Chains A and B, each alone.
Chain A
Amino acid sequence: MPALSDRRPQLGVWKFASCDGCQLTLLDCEDELLGIAEQVEITYFLEASSAPGPGPYDLSLVEGSVTTAEDTERIQHIRAASDRLVTIGACATAGGVQALRNYADVAEFQAAVYARPDYIDTLATSTPISAHVPVDFELRGCPIDRGQLIEVITAYLAGRTPDVPAHSVCFECKRRGTVCVTVAHGTPCLGPVTHAGCGALCPAYNRGCYGCFGPSNSTNFPSFIPLLRRDGMDTLDVVRVLRTYNTAAPEFDAAVRKELPG
């Protein structure tokens, strides 16, 4: 029998409503994938393996948001079977783009897409995993960043807290030496209120940040919104940009509610 220390930690990768992009990030770690697989046993990962193991899992990575009655039960089972549970991506962390239904009439949405909405089983809301079960760590991004994902996995294997900074994209812009698109070109940019992680990608490509990593740890919307207006955004634009990939993030949601009349 192998010694206890020979038992590799068990990793589970789970999916709820999502685009698969965050799980794919794990498969996109081409240089590290085989190394990771030597250190952990990838026990459950349907996208990559047809031999799901029963658990329990030392670490579960959960992608996607909760949108069906069945999902609300499945996440309870996953939580119960997992020592640590980390959500990966905007869907799992803030409801994802599909949380736009939370502000709409879902029956009308169903009717717009499906001729027979009665065949479709869905909840009226798309909610983050943390709305249903305790979560040990939330990794931001739509999609998540490969480097941060590896940090999270190795940190949990080493039994420490992941080192994922919660400052804003602006910090990363400065570090990268990118010229600020707002200052230089008057381009509206969500960098000041958006969580770091992407390495300030959009400004490096000459566009404003559209907030795909969700809110940073200290957002100051009262002074930020006027900046967006100065750069030409009207109320509708502000609402649209905050209500996209991280629409159910409390900070973005509160800012939008302030903007909307009534």
Chain B
Amino acid sequence: MTHGESKVLRVASLARVEGEGALHLRIHDGEVAEARLKIYEPPRFFEAFLRGRSSTEPPDITSRVCGICPVAYQMSACRALEDARDIVVGERLAALRRLLYCGEWIESQTLHIYFLHAPDFLGGDSIIDLARTHRTQVERGLALKQAGNAIVELLGGRAIHPVNARVGGFHRVPTRAELRPLEERLRRARDDAEATVRWVAGFDFPDTGIDNELLALAEPGTYAIDSGTPTAMTAPSSAGLPADTDRALPTRTFPLATFPDHVIETQVPHSTALHSRLDGRRHLTGTLARYAISGRWLPPDVLQVAGDAGLGDPRAGTVCRNPFRSIIIRAVEVLYAVGEALRLIDTYEPPPRPYVDVPDRAGTGHGATEAPRGLLYHRYTLDTDGTVTEAALVPPTAQNQAAIEQDLLHTVQERLRTGPHPTDAELTALCERVIRNHDPCISCSAHFLDLSVDRD
């Protein structure tokens, strides 16, 4: 790029993400001065209109924030509303919730792998294109996604905005016999999931890394999905290491009730999604964070497959900070969720009642679970008759936005320094890939890409 060159680039819309957004790049003298991810999904004001609703309503209402991860919203809402009344549901109900959540993990992560992300590695603009060149794989992806949907449909009634979850448990719980038909399907899904890990592990990955803190729930002994304590892993630069270091760094935890003191949301002029900082620093939630924090608790057979796929051994302190490789971790998470679902079905005992009573009482409750895209936090304040007086939702993408911008800045900078002068189309494609690596879900504002580049 010649000295002082100035240029503006615009790309109308970002594809294969959930929601709508734009990207603004300012390039000065061949250096990226600024990368702003603009989320322009029109605001939908959930937190405002939840006020005045009954305490029974947030699970159903907040599921409408996102059609891709409705179960995550339902589960975080239920946990927060139960917490406000000091209720913890019993083990059997908790197991059934985890089973429902495994269903969403399988279908949502598979959607991202096959529909949104794989075309970046294989060429082609959509899964329909892929179906022409990779028919067997695409059919496998569809079957795998369907297996996840089958769980959500059986437990929840339908795959999008299921109707069966409620504060305290479920409206109706299945019998053992009702769950049985899922088993056969999930056994096939396990083969498909394993084949998926091997498939994506063979893609071509650029060497790169991200330098920010990683935040996920942790529940020692298990791979956290539906509960856990917020746990943050130090950023490489704070430890004086390069961004792509694969060493596990020190972690710290904080009680969920103090989440609002640690994760502070701020508003930026260019986005309808709020930005947030973890103790003043950029952080990333989601697949990379979960694997870094909970990877060592995966069952040995899953760890074996992950190791063979080149992810190293989390028990020996290896973590993956390469966002391009998140597709492999996502596939490992699907494999895990399939196995976990089979285990939960195998050990399922119908709870004595479909739900526990959650009597009304004034209070504030916090709930967080691991949505496929990352940690999803809800807080509700209730008055004595159970009316919601205040609601706060902190979705993963809002937390990740700053880290994604940093990753964009870094990646574009690398490209400008090392390769030949990129065309606008090349830059757009690169940025879209970087963004898709993080699987942002922008319908929560909370959407995709309109690239403008100012070169001056």
Count B interface residues, CB 8 Å: 67
Is B219 close to A, CB under 8 A? no
A120 touches B67 (CB 8 A): no
A47 touches B18 (CB 8 A): yes
Q: Which residues of A contact B268 (CB under 8 A)?
A: 119
Is B44 close to A, CB under 8 A? yes
Q: Which residues of B contact A67 (CB under 8 A)?
A: 42-44
Q: Which of chain B's residues has its CB closest to A25's CB?
A: B160
Is A3 close to B, CB under 8 A? no
Q: Which of A20, A108, A207, A240 contacts B67 (CB 8 A)?
A: A20
Q: Which of B115, B143, B269 contacts A119 (CB 8 A)?
A: B269
Q: Which residues of A contact B223 (CB under 8 A)?
A: none
B64 touches A46 (CB 8 A): no
Q: Which of B14, B41, B274 contacts A17 (CB 8 A)?
A: B41
Q: Which residues of B contact A201 (CB under 8 A)?
A: 157-158, 163
A206 touches B42 (CB 8 A): no
Q: Which residues of B contact A17 (CB under 8 A)?
A: 41-42, 44
A116 touches B67 (CB 8 A): no
Q: Which of A97-105, A159-167, A215-223 contacts B (4 or more CB under 8 A)?
A: A97-105
Is A34 close to B, CB under 8 A? yes
Is B336 close to A, CB under 8 A? no
Interface residues of B in 39-71 (CB under 8 A from A): 41-49, 51, 53-54, 57, 60-61, 64-68, 70
Is A18 close to B, CB under 8 A? yes
A108 with B13, Cβ < 8 A, contacts A27-B111, A33-B142, A143-B161 known:
no
A21 touches B41 (CB 8 A): no
B64 touches A19 (CB 8 A): yes
A205 touches B45 (CB 8 A): no
A27 with B149, Cβ < 8 A, contacts A49-B126, A51-B126, A113-B47 known:
no
Q: Which residues of A contact B (CB under 8 A)?
A: 15-25, 27-28, 30-31, 33-34, 37, 42, 45-52, 67-68, 71, 96-98, 100-101, 104, 106, 108-110, 112-116, 119-120, 122, 142-143, 198, 201-202, 204-207, 210, 212, 237, 240, 244-245
**A19-B66, A34-B131, A67-B43 known, 7 other contacts, Cβ within 8 Å:** A15-B20, A21-B67, A48-B126, A51-B126, A51-B129, A67-B42, A113-B43
30 contacts between A and B (CB under 8 A): A21-B160, A23-B67, A24-B111, A37-B128, A37-B131, A46-B15, A47-B16, A47-B17, A47-B18, A49-B16, A49-B126, A50-B125, A51-B125, A67-B44, A97-B49, A98-B45, A104-B49, A109-B48, A109-B49, A114-B43, A115-B267, A143-B160, A143-B161, A201-B163, A205-B172, A207-B163, A207-B172, A210-B60, A237-B54, A240-B53
